[in-house]
Amino acid sequence: MLLEDNQFVRESLHDRVLPLEKRLEIEVAGGYKAQVSMKLPPDYNPNKIKAYPMLVYVYGGPGSQLVNDRFRIGWGDYLASKRGIIYTSIDGRGSGYAGDGILHALNRALGTGEVDDQISVTA
């Protein structure tokens, strides 16, 4: 049973230039894997990586999740598609929905591991 086919949304976005999204899984300290989402400019050329500035959206609140399959268009999409900026979100230690190990990795150590994960992923 089809509840919604989103035809209106499809038609509204048909002529719009949207960023490309690249998903990565990068190993961080403790053997955990950080989930990474990169919104890339539509004209992205991997051979000219130094030509693109990168902005990292930093939020590592306990149990939070930035990298997911939810459809949304926001500030990061604008920056990537209109300003040529790579907009990156990182779910490191302390993130939710990836198992108890990564969720509780920062128990009594908030402000340490999640910062290290952001740095190691972007280094």
In a domain, 3, yes or no: no
CA-closest candidate to residue 30, choices 90, 89, 94: 94
Instruction: Output the pLDDT for position 60.
Output: 67
The token duo for 51 is 């030509």
Instruction: Output the pLDDT for position 19.
Output: 95
In a domain, 113, yes or no: yes
**Count: domains in the chain:** 1
In a domain, 1, yes or no: no
Tell me which residue range forms the domain holding 78.
Answer: 19-122
In a domain, 9, yes or no: no
**What pTM was computed for the model?**
0.83
Helix residue spans in 31-112 (DSSP H): 75-83, 100-103
Over the chain (123 residues), the average pLDDT of each successive run of 10 is 89 89 92 92 89 89 84 94 96 78 72 81 87
In a domain, 4, yes or no: no
Q: Which CATH number is 57's domain given?
A: 3.40.50.1820
In a domain, 8, yes or no: no
